[in-house]
Amino acid sequence: MPKRIGSPTPSHLAEGGATPGLSATLLPAQAGQALTLSLLTPVLPAVAIFFGGGVEGESIAQWLAVSPFLGLTIGGLGSGLAIGAAGLRLTVCIAAFGYALSGLIGLVASAKVLLLGGGFLLGASAALLTSGLSAVTAIVYQEPARRRFVAMQSATANILGVILALGGAAAAGRFGWRTPFSIYLLFGGVMLAATVACVRRAPRRSAIRGGTVRLVRRGWPIFLAGGATFLLATTQSTQLPFLLEQNGLTSATLRAIVVVCTLGAAVLGSLVYGITQARIPQPLIILFAGLAASSAWLMFGMWSHGLVLACIAAALLGLALGILVPVLYGGAMQVAPGEASGQAIGLLNAAVFLGSFANPLIAGPLRTVAGLSGMMFVLAALSLLVVLIAMFWMREKPAMAMQS
């Protein structure tokens, strides 16, 4: 049941609790991050050509891809301080404005410094937006409704990611590489308007005393599990395309079908988790996700040809991610109550993007030593290890109170 915000709670975020408008505003909480990473990738070759091609052009394009990761990490680490200093409503408004501004910069700027700065602003704004809206979610919803709603947020992010990534790639081919930035501008503007209209007021709060240290001490298993999960999962972007091409899927269209299977199954996994999380013990859900991920990597390791088997393995991987993402975000919200949950989400986001950023640094040497197929077997074993870590901490229990 939605939590009604009354006088015992210091944050009157919405008069009367979770109104339809507020729920609609909170649904795309994770979408800003998903769009940040999915829309830029298809246009990077065109960005390289715009800057003259060759080594210099490719270097600028790669830095444009990296700059949002850096922004996401810094924004995640600093989200607690921002929320504590400015309050939830103002933080979300600033983040939405920054997200839209980064889109405007990408639409009009030609200087590489401005574009890279816009990419950093995009990532930092996305992290603050997710942290702020997640903190509102933690206040407005109580368990088990909170976990169901977080699952819906994950599904919404995946659905928007699929639709806008495919549509954005097609539009970029027709209208040019700046097209994704128009989507950033539109999304940020809509989120700013929705926040002003639906999040009524959130008084300014001071930062929690010793908050970051205490949060890390209490939530380190989930932060570690989040970073490790995305350290492994990012392999589907950095290494899996090479395996698909090596085993006969040389067409970009065929490889795109495999990616869509992953994203579609992630939507299904999030929805199934939202429906079943109140009926099935949390450790069993996590174990199922881990077995699905491990089976996916094993199938890729043994797979040598054929689109159908690749799609099945990709769907298993997407199903695992669709379950684990709401598990991680829901668990992070239980590390701390109220506004402090935004800082917990920020720390989780920082761990997630540090894991994603570290993937090429680790996967490259591992691929050299074990080969593409051998690397998949290693990932299968590591997936089970991550699940055991998550099961150690992620179990059904009430949120523990922190002193502010």
Q: pTM here?
A: 0.73
Per-residue pLDDT at 253: 66
Q: Assess if CATH 1.10.3720.10 describes domain 208-404.
A: no
Give pLDDT < 70 ranges for the chain. 1-18, 37-38, 41-42, 165, 168-169, 172, 200-212, 238, 251-253, 337-340, 389-404
DSSP secondary structure string, 169-189? HHHHHHH-TTHHHHHHHHHHH
Angle at 129 between CA 172 and CA 74, to 5 degrees: 90
Residue ranges per domain, the chain? 1-8+16-142+161-205, 208-404
Superfamily of domain 1-8+16-142+161-205: MFS general substrate transporter like domains (1.20.1250.20)
Per DSSP, what are the bridge partners of residue 2? 141
240 closest CA partner among 334, 152, 311: 311
In whole angstroms, give the CA distance from residue 139 to residue 143. Answer: 11
| Terminal Cα-to-Cα distance of the chain (whole angstroms) | 26
Per-residue pLDDT at 400: 38
In contact, 194 and 369? CB cutoff 8 Å? no
In whole angstroms, give the CA distance from residue 119 to residue 366. Answer: 29
In contact, 215 and 224? CB cutoff 8 Å? no
Phi and psi at 298, nearest 5°, equal -65, -45
* Domain pair 1-8+16-142+161-205 / 208-404, same fold: yes
- Cis ω before 28 (30° cut-off from 0): no
The pLDDT tens digits of the residues spanning 145-186 come to 888 888 888 888 888 877 776 776 677 677 788 888 888 999
